[in-house]
Amino acid sequence: MVEPSFAERSLIYHKDYLNDTTIVTSSAVNITEDAVLTADGQSLPYDYLVIATGHALTSPASRAERLKEFQRDNGKIESSESVLIIGGGPTGVELAAEIAVDYPGKKVTLIHRGPRLLEFMGEKASKKCLDWLTSKKVDVLLQQSVDLGSLSDTEKVYKTSGGETVRADCHFVCIGKPLSSSWLHDTILKESLDSKGRVMVENDLRVKGYNNIFAIGDITDIPEIKQGYNAQKHALLVAKNLKLLIKGLPNSKLSTYSTGYPLALVSLGRKEGLAQIPFLTICGCLPGKIKSGDLFIGKTRKQIGLSG
């Protein structure tokens, strides 16, 4: 959104690196004991199944439309003197930081309904983040919200739940998306969902009650920070276990997953960042060198066999 050309490297077709895979671009609508049914009427049989639907997204389906969306958002930022960001999680914080660094003349306001920013991290990290944004002249309003139903692209005056008035030429909603699990309530996995809609899994990441169905990523009920780093760990473990099952090894041979210390890394503009590692929270150029340069895009491309 701040640098649209960056999306050229980050938006990747699965077919570009999954050379021996059949890719079906249709939503799954049902799961039976031996097949997945899709919205376009297909029935895809399976011996083993992995559920990895994460959070629900409303982005355009095609790459071309997604690129246009980023360009439109960038145009909104470019043409605005003031920007309102709703949501103080990692997405809202990183967007506010990038705008503050790349467009220091623009007025940036961030509204968050919680008592502190980045609530998935420790209080020390939240304080360092707030101090950093404040140093860049970002106005941060905590424990306040905006009625999302009243938002429009033409409205430039926003009323907060705390009675404050915020004037901004444009806004961006950066709050958490709901889990993409509602469709599972009408499948054989309906009894495997917890009260929050998360898929309950065993230590080997098989769905509770099933020997041949796994779940990975944000959709699981694993008590840890929901981030790509952990989802990748899930994927590697499930790939390993699938190979063992296909070879006919017993369940006792399957590897198990254990949560580690909550690690987190948030970029703050082009060169700085915020890192939470065991017994230490760092803010500044060191964590910035790790992530903020290209947000791990080059590393990820190389991992899947594409040029950096």
Output the pLDDT for position 153. Answer: 82
Residue spans per domain, the chain: 4-60+178-253, 63-176+262-304
Output the pLDDT for position 133. Answer: 98
Task: Report pTM.
Answer: 0.92
User: Mind listing the pLDDT tens digit of every residue in the chain (308 residues)?
Assistant: 999 989 999 999 999 999 999 999 999 999 999 999 999 999 999 999 999 999 988 777 789 999 999 999 999 999 999 999 999 999 999 999 999 999 999 999 999 999 999 999 999 999 999 999 999 999 999 999 999 888 888 889 999 999 999 999 999 999 988 999 999 999 999 999 999 999 999 999 999 999 999 999 999 999 998 888 899 999 999 999 999 999 999 999 999 999 988 889 999 999 999 999 988 999 999 999 999 889 999 999 999 999 87
Q: Is 295 exposed, middle or buried, given 0-12, 13-18 or 19+ CB atoms closer than 10 A?
A: middle
Q: Under CATH, which architecture does the 63-176+262-304 domain have?
A: 3-Layer(bba) Sandwich (3.50)
Structural fold of domain 4-60+178-253: FAD/NAD(P)-binding domain (3.50.50)
Q: Do domains 4-60+178-253 and 63-176+262-304 have the same CATH topology?
A: yes
- Looking from the CA of 303 toward its CB, the CA atoms found within 13 Å total 8
Output the pLDDT for position 308. Answer: 73
Residue type, 214: F
Output the pLDDT for position 199. Answer: 98
- Looking from the CA of 210 toward its CB, the CA atoms found within 13 Å total 25
